[in-house]
Amino acid sequence: MLSRQALLRSMRAAASQRAAISQTRAYAAAASSDKVKPPVALFGIDGTYATALYTAAVKTSSLEPTAKGLAALASLVEKDKKLVSILATPTLSTADKNSIIAELQKAAGIQGETVKNFLSTLAQNNRLGLLPDVCSRFSELISASRGEIEVIITSAQQLDNKTLSRLETAVSKSSYVGAGKKLKVTNTVNPEIVGGLVVEIGDRTIDLSVSSKISKMNKLLNDSL
């Protein structure tokens, strides 16, 4: 038979668990609404969480602060690979998760309740390891809502601002970009392409790299022999 102390502890634990479940359901309920339509459809678990967060942010009129908070979190996890490993640890205790959430909020300067509730939901569902992916997918939603098209220009060496500006102008006038769209240009460096450029516009890729030309030439020579 349970002692009075043990019974009280069990009751407190059950009450705490009910509160946690209630909080998760409340967040999910706030995020679900037929009146809020995300600008693009995302799939996968990370896409589901990103879409729920976007919907909750729109409903609470906190889209911009939420976007700022997610961008700050994305920057944190990108710079600290050890943090990514910690987030993905499957054996984190509740105390560990609470401590991690508190540190994330402090380091990223999170103020709004929407992002705080989102982090708590990830923790309660043992999904903190998805944070980097959710941040990335949420960025897709924000870009789409602003009418932005992501353009990633990969070069063998870092491009100067003048060259990037000329490329941005050329891309903006191409058939790959619709009228009224804004470009979000990022320059990444990959020495393996040798020279030239690889331009990714949304889900399209234009490979103008030297490595690609060499590969095609090698294939042509092999096919001819």
- Predicted structure pTM score: 0.64
Residue 158 has a pLDDT of 95
Residue 180 scores a pLDDT above 50: yes
**pLDDT bucket at 17, cuts 50 / 70 / 90:** very low
Residues 6+ apart with CB under 8 A from 222: none
Which tens digits make up the pLDDT trace of 60-109? 999 999 999 999 999 999 888 889 899 999 899 999 999 999 999 998 89
Using CA atoms, how far apart are residues 54 and 155, in angstroms rounded to an integer? 33
Residue 76 has, within 13 A of its CA and on its CB side, a CA count of 23
What's the rounded Cα separation, in Å, for the pair 27 and 74? Answer: 21
Q: Give pLDDT, residue 162.
A: 93
Lowest mean pLDDT among 13-17, 81-85, 174-178: 13-17
Percentage with pLDDT > 90 across the chain: 54
Q: What pLDDT band is residue 20 in, cutting at 50, 70 and 90?
A: very low
Buried (b) or exposed (e) across 176-203, using 16+ Cβ within 10 A? ebeeeeeeebebeeeeebeebbbbbbee
CB 171 within 8 A of CB 150: no
Phi-psi region of 149 (alpha: psi -120 to 50; beta: other; left: phi over 0): beta
Alpha-carbon dihedral 106, 111, 116, 118, rounded to 10 degrees: -120
Q: What does the pLDDT look like over 133-145, one tens digit per residue?
A: 999 999 989 988 8
